[in-house]
A and B are shown apart, each in its own frame.
Chain A
Amino acid sequence: MPKRDLISIDDLSRADVELLLDTAESFLPVLERDIKKVPTLRGRTIVNLFWESSTRTSSSFDLAAKRLSADTLALKASGSAVEKGETLKDTAITLSAYSPDIIVMRHPSAGACQTLSANTEASVINAGDGKHQHPTQCLLDLFSMRQNLGRDLDGLKVFIVGDILHSRVARSDIMGFTMLGMDVTLVAPPTLMPRGIEEMGVTVEYDLANLKDADVIYLLRIQQERIKAGANFLPSLREYNEFYGISQARLRPGQRVMHPGPINRGVEIASDIADDDENLIAHQVFSGLAVRMAILYRTIVGYSDGSASGEVL
């Protein structure tokens, strides 16, 4: 079986996505029982390489691997040979000595996962590469939507609001949401809207005038570090909040808010929304574990749809 990477959402067919979501659902009972562990990936080795900070993604990948009984190895940029100037290729060659089955990587540069994949026998799972893709976030978003809004997401209207320009989450979500038949609208100030993004099959708007049409409002973090660095993307955070911040007052009943975290209270999201359990923000974190277990499991056992008989034992 050739190795299977997950670098971009378009590495997956719609059937693959649905199989991953079904598989994630089947892990939920495992996570609820006393012994929250299955022996499925016993003896497998999974390396987590996080060249950029992460809380949710790195912790859930680590726990997902452990719940599947795999051995995990975590490496961070600080304190590793990267600080001494080792290249990604050499890191990949070094890690090959341990024969890992999967390398999960977050990296500040788009395309780093392809480079890694070309230099290792292991399957590579992208945990976020620069402004390119964050496919596992998209899958857990889809999982949260399906668990809370019903299995059929076809025709669901989603508004993605915020810093589209710098967001790898937005790029993966646009692909995944449209793949499952959702109607996606992007809202951002012109400075944070990439040119030509309409080609991905989305509607582009520059204000919240049509927000009432949305079933789901997906907020993106305003990356304050980029704003403070002096680039003139926004006049001020207060002005952003005035025009694009979402508070209860801007919503109609029944609209659900999502956010990949970490949130900026009082910037893109008001506290009354962040703390309202009707929204899916906490559920997204919960979904991360089951979905990442499903991704690790399918990467190793394959994406067969099970139409053939499995009765070989």
Chain B
Amino acid sequence: MPDTRPSNEAVVLTAEQMSRTITRITHEILEKNPVADKLAVVGIHTRGAYLGDRIHQLLCDVGGRGYPSGKLDISFYRDDVAARGAVGVIPSTPQPVVKDTDLPFDIDGSTVVLVDDVLFTGRTIRAAIDALFDYGRPAGVQLAVLVDRGHRELPIRPDYVGKNLPTGLRERINVRLEECDGIDEVVLVRTQEGG
């Protein structure tokens, strides 16, 4: 439906490409963790959780065995809540409704693959690692993202990247997933005022 798409949007991953990318990431996870008995997939709400589900499903199919999986909500670990009036914090950032954190396996000693849709400043991942450590002491934490758009503000590096996409600060990456948006695609949006 190219005619209904707003002119400031450009598709960077189609449904077919996204599916191939997720498959590749899954194989890379297995390649990097050949003997990981305690490998687990944990998605970060909202879209990271759906992507985590997909990767987990594929991992079990390809790996020929079951792996534990879970979901993480990082609302209580955000750094823009406690930092009152901090420079650079977007004022009146809407605080989304908190979703369930569900980690139905023992974190201690697990190798946890965190999954998120877009890697940007790295602050979400910082929060997710903090949250994870309040549940236990993983043997290792790896990071899988569908899109790495750059502009890191923290020393955080992904282990598995779907697509590297250098962006401007005035551009936005929208990941849309069947589960919540009715379509699988990644689009680059150019905004007027940034954000």
User: Which of A26, A42, A44, A305 contacts B99 (CB under 8 A)?
Assistant: A26
Establish whether residues B81 and A301, one from each chain, have CB atoms under 8 Å apart when the complex forms.
yes
Q: Please name all residues of chain A whose beta carbon is closer than 8 Å to the beta carbon of B95 when the two chains form the complex.
A: 301-302, 304, 306, 310
Q: How far is the CA of A297 from the CA of B75 in the complex (A)?
A: 11
Q: Which of A33-41, A141-149, A175-183 lines the interface with chain B? A: A33-41
Establish whether residues A39 and B130, one from each chain, have CB atoms under 8 Å apart when the complex forms.
yes
For B73, the closest partner residue in chain A by CB is: A26
Q: How far is the CA of A33 from the CA of B104 in the complex (A)?
A: 11
Interface positions, chain A 280-313, Cβ under 8 Å from B, are 297, 300-302, 304-313
Establish whether residues A35 and B82, one from each chain, have CB atoms under 8 Å apart when the complex forms.
no
**A-B residue pairs in contact (CB < 8 Å), sample of 7:** A22-B98, A23-B98, A26-B99, A35-B135, A40-B78, A41-B82, A306-B96
Q: How far is the CA of A313 from the CA of B121 in the complex (A)?
A: 6
From known contacts A302-B95, A313-B120, infer whether A40 and B90 are also in contact, taking CB-CB under 8 Å: no
Establish whether residues B97 and A22, one from each chain, have CB atoms under 8 Å apart when the complex forms.
yes
For B101, the closest partner residue in chain A by CB is: A29
Q: How far is the CA of A302 from the CA of B84 in the complex (A)?
A: 13
From known contacts A38-B134, A313-B121, infer whether A305 and B97 are also in contact, taking CB-CB under 8 Å: yes
Give the one of B78, B79, B81, B102 with max A CB within 10 A.
B81
Establish whether residues A40 and B77, one from each chain, have CB atoms under 8 Å apart when the complex forms.
yes
For B195, the closest partner residue in chain A by CB is: A312
Q: How far is the CA of A307 from the CA of B95 in the complex (A)?
A: 9
Q: What 6 A-B pairs have minimum CB-CB distances, sorted nearest first?
A: A310-B96, A306-B96, A26-B98, A38-B76, A306-B97, A313-B123
Number of interface residues of A (CB under 8 A): 35
Establish whether residues A40 and B76, one from each chain, have CB atoms under 8 Å apart when the complex forms.
yes
| A230 at interface by CB-CB < 8 Å | no
User: How many whole Å from B97's CB to the nearest CB in chain A?
Assistant: 4
Establish whether residues B92 and A302, one from each chain, have CB atoms under 8 Å apart when the complex forms.
yes
Q: Please name all residues of chain B whose beta carbon is closer than 8 Å to the beta carbon of A35 when the two chains form the complex.
A: 134-135
| B94 at interface by CB-CB < 8 Å | yes
Q: Please name all residues of chain B whose beta carbon is closer than 8 Å to the beta carbon of A37 when the two chains form the complex.
A: 134
| A229 at interface by CB-CB < 8 Å | no
| A249 at interface by CB-CB < 8 Å | no
Q: What 19 additional pairs, Cβ within 8 angstroms, besides A26-B97, A42-B82, A313-B79? A: A1-B91, A26-B73, A30-B76, A34-B136, A38-B77, A38-B131, A40-B77, A40-B81, A40-B82, A41-B82, A44-B84, A297-B76, A301-B95, A304-B96, A306-B94, A312-B80, A312-B90, A313-B78, A313-B123
Give the one of B78, B118, B124 with max A CB within 10 A.
B78
User: How many whole Å from A100's CB to the nearest CB in chain B?
Assistant: 12
For A30, the closest partner residue in chain B by CB is: B76
| B4 at interface by CB-CB < 8 Å | no
Q: How far is the CA of A308 from the CA of B92 in the complex (A)?
A: 11
Q: How far is the CA of A68 from the CA of B98 in the complex (A)?
A: 15
Interface positions, chain B 110-147, Cβ under 8 Å from A, are 118, 120-121, 123-124, 127, 130-131, 134-136
Q: Please name all residues of chain A whose beta carbon is closer than 8 Å to the beta carbon of B135 when the two chains form the complex.
A: 33-35
Establish whether residues A312 and B93, one from each chain, have CB atoms under 8 Å apart when the complex forms.
yes
Establish whether residues B82 and A44, one from each chain, have CB atoms under 8 Å apart when the complex forms.
yes
User: How many whole Å from A34's CB to the nearest CB in chain B?
Assistant: 8
Q: How far is the CA of A135 from the CA of B37 in the complex (A)?
A: 51
| B3 at interface by CB-CB < 8 Å | no
| A254 at interface by CB-CB < 8 Å | no
| B100 at interface by CB-CB < 8 Å | yes
Q: Please name all residues of chain A whose beta carbon is closer than 8 Å to the beta carbon of B99 when the two chains form the complex.
A: 26
